[in-house]
Amino acid sequence: MRLVTYDTGAGTPRRVGVLRDDAVIDCEFDGDMVAFVEAGDAALAAARAALSSGGAVAEARLRAPIRPRTLRDFLTFPEHTERSRAALGLGPIPQLWYEVPAYYKGLPDTVIGPEEEIPWPSYSDQLDQELEIACVIGRPGRDIARDDWREHVFGWTIWNDMSARDTQGRELPLGMGPGKAKDWDGSNVLGPCIATADECDGADAEMALWINGEERTRARSSQMHHSFGDLIAYASLACTLRAGEVIGSGTAPGGAGIETGQYLAPGDLIEMEIEGIGTLRNRVGTRSAH
């Protein structure tokens, strides 16, 4: 199934729905997507029943499918890592990168959804998209074994992890990881849905990116050096992962403008498609005044 969060207009409550083709069917669930994920099999059974017998919601508008408990973003594709490091003047990939699946944390309240305009932060002149696939944790766990990761995945979504590249270049020498290069209202885009684990194999899915209708890349999630098993095992070391947490793959090869120097402009249309999930579309907003 492909699960969504939707409303029917400004000021209307957001609800959990399920997609039947392009129509939204209400799941008759009283709670947000995190609560739905926590409810597990009972919520999924209700969604399946709605899918088979429910009517389409009129004027439904998709929102970010989940306001995650946490966002953890990794860096797992060697090709992207090599090219972006070169662009930032950081030199070759160090051996430690191949051994440690390091990550940073994003802010859940910065998340927006499909068709929403991506705000351009006032302090940046160099905006960039990043094509990623992300899993949503379903079953909680701590010290999860690498081979048991699938037991803890509820589903998959697309993550456009926006970056202010000029800000990133200033922050990196400080050794504290990304800060304002990643954190502004609307800097994390999720959607258009969460494809349940039985609907999508996020470990080997085709990923594609278009900017203004021009195809920029095609890649597969199986090109990751660190697998989702590695990521979940590492993140859960002495730390309980809970339902509704989101774990990102990092950027697919060719999925960011930093690799070729092709940065975004106001009004650009970003389209990201991942096999089994769908297409996430957003336009870039106007530059804010400094």
Domain spans, the chain:
2-63, 71-287
Which of 282, 69, 263 minimizes the C-alpha distance to 186?
A: 282
**Low-confidence residues of the chain: pLDDT under 50:** none
Q: What pLDDT sits at residue 290?
A: 57
Q: What pLDDT sits at residue 130?
A: 98
Q: What pLDDT sits at residue 173?
A: 85
Q: pLDDT tens, 77-106?
A: 999 999 999 998 889 999 999 999 999 999
Q: What pLDDT sits at residue 256?
A: 98
Which of 107, 98, 253, 261 minimizes the C-alpha distance to 184?
A: 107
Q: pLDDT tens, 146-183?
A: 999 999 999 999 999 999 999 999 998 888 888 999 99
Q: Rounded to whole angstroms, how far apart are CA atoms 195 and 4?
A: 9
Q: Are 163 and 180 in contact (CB under 8 A)?
A: no
Can you read off the two tokens belonging to residue 64? 């970010």
Q: What pLDDT sits at residue 13?
A: 96
Q: What angle do CA 211, 216, 220 make, to 5 degrees?
A: 120
Q: What pLDDT sits at residue 172?
A: 85
Give the architecture-level CATH label for domain 71-287: Alpha-Beta Complex (3.90)
Q: What pLDDT sits at residue 10?
A: 86
Q: What pLDDT sits at residue 289?
A: 65
Cα four-point dihedral sign 3, 4, 7, 11 = positive
Which of 46, 78, 111, 102 minimizes the C-alpha distance to 223?
A: 78
For the full predicted model, state whether its pTM sits above 0.95.
yes
